[in-house]
């Protein structure tokens, strides 16, 4: 098996023209009057090659644009990569995250061993240097990531490591970048971790294997503890939702709880937060089986769970002064002799009964037990995240996830984190009318609503399990995967939610609204 690419990110005092590297990366805003100081110096040494390409119009500097120049001994770098940053007035932190991702993606493609980044210099002090360093680190991990551990031939010759340096000739400035680079590295690595486990197929990651993975993560991460309930323990507790969904599979369900408590949590009087992530290791639909086309993508139905698990890793490594429960109910939704079936009435962990009308609406059946567990642990804030409904994809496309909540302040905090992390959210309703549709004549609830508003009725179902607790729901269906590679990122699991949830918790720990 091939190792997932290892990326080392450091900062170094160096002059761009004199740095020895396989790839020197410089940013450029479209519509700029000319090159900045670094660009001018490189251009002069390269005999005007950069300005000629810009004058010819071959490189416009739009985001996603890039151009390569060869050092040929005139600069110490083997290659210079000019990366488009788009219009300067429209630039934000994500411009630099994306530019770093594009550069890192190209670096892997070019089989560069070393990369030197001067992207942070481009805006000339218009952005907070620490923010830039953090997002550039995040982008570096994002763009260099590849999922190819089962590709046994190495014809493409991908290198196993990539060394990236953020360079600056000003030592004073460089020192200030160290801590945010380390933060970005923690978040970037956590996101890559989520992508790797999510990308692994259903025959490799089943619920017990995911539980093993969570245990391994907790054992290797100071501050994390992991408890796993097996099917017997779930039966004792009455977790009917998870057990019903997991019934059809020969791989039994697991209820995974990863906990992080900082020593400083109590003194800070911050809320106890629960993150609840849907981890269906494969969703065939069960007895209400899905059509064959693209069913392979349903290995990614565990992505919400992985967003939670990876966020727990990041939170522990960042040593945030808070208390968080990562709750990950996991099952494989399969047809089989012991499957739950349409018509069944399930008693969930909360005691509420649910009439099953479609076994493909399984996510809510495991999440409701996860939410109830959070309530029983006395969590003040409960956030669930799930690839829950095709209807959410129909509503929002693949650009943003749906957000539903019973608390406007919590929704606002999540929207702020979405803005900062560029993992976007769009708020949708989940009130009375939607809840009305989820009432059953023969049980307390049923598991599907009418033909319309499927994302909202699913959220209205979950809302009822949170009771009076502050609750938010993130429907990330469609956000879990890039079907095709992009300029800045390879195809496969996206790791969506890791930056979003981590940013929310960082802000909470900083008591920022
Ligand atoms: N995991 C799916 C939702 C999904 C669909 C995620 C496409 C990512 C891409 C979920 O379990 C599901 O099957 N939902 C049904 C619900 C319906 C039966 C009410 C759906 O959306 O069709
Ligand atoms: Zn389903
Ligand atoms: Zn599903």
Helix/strand/coil (H/E/C) assignment for every residue in 451-489:
CCCHHHHHHHHHHHHHCCCEEEEEECCCCCEECCCCCCC
Q: Quick check: 447 and 358 in contact, CB under 8 A?
A: yes
Q: Quick check: 137 and 183 in contact, CB under 8 A?
A: yes
Q: Which phi and psi angles does 499 have, rounded to 5°?
A: -65, -40
pLDDT of residue 23: 98
Say if residue 224 is in the same domain as residue 164: no
Å from CA of 290 to ligand 2 middle: 8
Say if residue 245 is in the same domain as residue 139: no
- Ligand 1 near 454 CB (within 6 A): yes
pLDDT higher than threshold 70 for residue 513: no
Q: Is residue 34 part of a domain?
A: yes
Say if residue 216 is in the same domain as residue 165: no
Q: Which helix (H) or strand (E) holds 254?
A: strand 254-261
Q: Is residue 299 part of a domain?
A: yes
If one residue of 283, 305, 331, 390 were mutated to test the ligand 1 pocket, choosing by the most ligand atoms within 8 A of its CB, it would be 390
Q: Quick check: 248 and 336 in contact, CB under 8 A?
A: yes
Place of tokens 């195809």: 491
Q: What number is the average pLDDT over the span 312-319? A: 98
Q: What number is the average pLDDT over the span 318-346? A: 98
Q: Quick check: 26 and 118 in contact, CB under 8 A?
A: yes
**Which atom of ligand 1 lies at the shortest distance from residue 363's CA?**
11
Say if residue 218 is in the same domain as residue 340: yes
Say if residue 169 is in the same domain as residue 153: yes
Å from CA of 388 to ligand 1 middle: 6
Q: Any idea how long the chain is?
A: 513
398 is catalytic: no
pLDDT of residue 157: 85
C-alpha 95 chain-centroid distance? 18
3-class secondary-structure state, position 92: coil
Q: Is residue 432 part of a domain?
A: no
pLDDT tens digits, one per residue of 22-52: 999 999 999 888 899 999 999 999 999 999 9
Å from CA of 97 to ligand 2 middle: 33
Say if residue 262 is in the same domain as residue 155: no
C-alpha 401 chain-centroid distance? 12
Q: Quick check: 477 and 384 in contact, CB under 8 A?
A: no
For the domain that residue 271 is a member of, what is the CATH number? 3.40.630.10
290 is catalytic: yes
Q: Is residue 487 part of a domain?
A: no
Where a domain ends, among 176, 195, 214? 195
Say if residue 131 is in the same domain as residue 245: no
Q: Quick check: 295 and 284 in contact, CB under 8 A?
A: yes
pLDDT band for position 2 (50/70/90)?
confident
Say if residue 250 is in the same domain as residue 341: yes
Full residue range of the structural domain in which residue 236 is found: 202-421+437-474+497-509
Instruction: Report the DSSP beta bridge partners of residue 379.
Output: none
- Ligand 1 near 30 CB (within 6 A): no
Q: Quick check: 211 and 252 in contact, CB under 8 A?
A: no
Residues 343, 199: Cα–Cα separation, whole Å: 33
- Total domain count, the chain: 2
Q: Is residue 357 part of a domain?
A: yes
Residues 253, 333: Cα–Cα separation, whole Å: 10
For the domain that residue 36 is a member of, what is the CATH number? 3.40.220.10
Å from CA of 387 to ligand 2 middle: 9
- Ligand 1 near 165 CB (within 6 A): no
Where a domain ends, among 195, 222, 251? 195
3-class secondary-structure state, position 298: helix
pLDDT of residue 286: 98
Q: 196: which DSSP letter?
A: H
Say if residue 150 is in the same domain as residue 72: yes
Q: Is residue 273 part of a domain?
A: yes
Å from CA of 455 to ligand 3 middle: 13
**Which atom of ligand 1 lies at the shortest distance from residue 285's CA?**
13
pLDDT tens digits, one per residue of 385-434: 999 999 999 999 999 999 999 999 999 999 999 999 999 999 999 999 99
Nearest CA residue ID for atom 17, ligand 1: 361
pLDDT higher than threshold 90 for residue 155: no
**Which atom of ligand 1 lies at the shortest distance from residue 458's CA?**
19
Say if residue 209 is in the same domain as residue 167: no
Distances (CA, A) of 87 to 32, 39, 63, 65, 302: 8, 17, 8, 12, 38
Residues 493, 309: Cα–Cα separation, whole Å: 15
C-alpha 330 chain-centroid distance? 18
Catalytic residue among 78, 254, 364, 470: 364
Render the burial of 220-237: b for 16+ CB within 10 Å, e for the rest. Answer: ebebbebebbebeebeeb
pLDDT band for position 159 (50/70/90)?
very high
- Ligand 1 near 358 CB (within 6 A): yes
pLDDT higher than threshold 70 for residue 512: no
Say if residue 82 is in the same domain as residue 214: no
Say if residue 270 is in the same domain as residue 166: no
pLDDT band for position 122 (50/70/90)?
confident
Q: Is residue 489 part of a domain?
A: no
Where a domain ends, among 161, 195, 229? 195
Q: Is residue 479 part of a domain?
A: no
- Ligand 1 near 99 CB (within 6 A): no
Q: What number is the average pLDDT over the span 254-268? A: 91
């Amino acid at each position: 098996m091939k190792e997932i690419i290892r990326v080392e990110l450091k900062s170094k005092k160096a002059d761009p023209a004199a740095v020895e590297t396989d790839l020197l990366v410089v940013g450029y805003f479209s519509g700029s009057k000319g090159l900045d100081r670094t660009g001018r110096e490189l251009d002069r040494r390269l005999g005007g090659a950069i300005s000629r390409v810009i004058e010819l119009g071959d490189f416009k500097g739009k985001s996603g644009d890039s151009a390569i120049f060869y050092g040929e001994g005139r600069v110490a770098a083997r290659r210079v990569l000019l990366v488009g940053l788009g219009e300067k007035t429209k630039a934000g932190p994500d411009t630099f995250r994306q530019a770093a991702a594009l550069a890192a993606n190209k670096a892997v493609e070019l089989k560069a061993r070393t990369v030197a980044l001067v992207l942070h210099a481009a805006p000339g002090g218009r952005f907070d240097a620490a923010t830039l360093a953090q997002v550039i680190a995040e982008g570096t991990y994002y763009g260099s990531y590849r999922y190819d551990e089962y590709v046994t031939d190495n014809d493409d010759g991908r290198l196993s490591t990539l060394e990236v340096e953020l360079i600056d000739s000003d030592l004073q400035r460089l020192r200030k970048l160290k801590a945010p680079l380390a933060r970005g590295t923690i978040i970037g690595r956590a996101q890559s971790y989520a992508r790797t486990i999510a990308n692994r197929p259903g025959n490799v990651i089943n619920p017990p294997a995911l539980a093993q993975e969570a245990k391994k993560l907790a054992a290797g991460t100071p501050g994390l503890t992991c408890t796993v309930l097996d099917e017997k323990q779930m039966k004792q507790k009455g977790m009917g939702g998870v057990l019903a969904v997991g019934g059809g599979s020969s791989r039994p369900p697991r209820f995974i709880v990863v906990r992080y408590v900082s020593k400083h949590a109590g003194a800070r009087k911050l809320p106890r937060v629960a993150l609840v992530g849907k981890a269906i290791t494969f969703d065939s639909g069960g007895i209400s089986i899905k059509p064959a086309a693209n069913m392979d993508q349903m290995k990614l139905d565990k992505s919400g769970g992985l967003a939670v698990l990876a966020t727990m890793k990041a939170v522990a490594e960042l040593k945030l002064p808070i208390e968080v429960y990562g709750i990950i109910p996991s099952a494989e939704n399969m047809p089989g002799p012991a499957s739950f079936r349409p018509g069944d009435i399930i008693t969930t962990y909360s005691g509420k009964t649910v009439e099953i009308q479609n076994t493909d609406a399984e996510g809510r059946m495991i999440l409701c037990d996860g939410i109830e567990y959070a309530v029983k642990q006395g969590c003040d804030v409960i956030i669930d995240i799930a690839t829950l409904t095709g209807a959410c994809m129909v509503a929002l496309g693949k650009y943003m996830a749906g957000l539903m909540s019973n608390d406007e302040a919590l929704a606002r905090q999540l929207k702020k984190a979405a803005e900062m992390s560029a993992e976007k959210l769009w708020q949708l309703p989940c009130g009375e009318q939607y809840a009305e549709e989820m009432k059953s004549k023969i049980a307390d609830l049923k598991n599907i609503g009418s033909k319309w508003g499927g994302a909202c009725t699913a959220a209205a179902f979950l809302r009822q399990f949170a009771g009076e607790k502050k609750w938010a729901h993130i429907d990330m269906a469609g956000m879990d995967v890039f079907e095709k590679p992009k300029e800045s990122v390879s195809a496969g699991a996206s790791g969506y939610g890791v930056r979003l949830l981590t940013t929310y918790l960082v802000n909470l720990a900083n008591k920022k609204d």
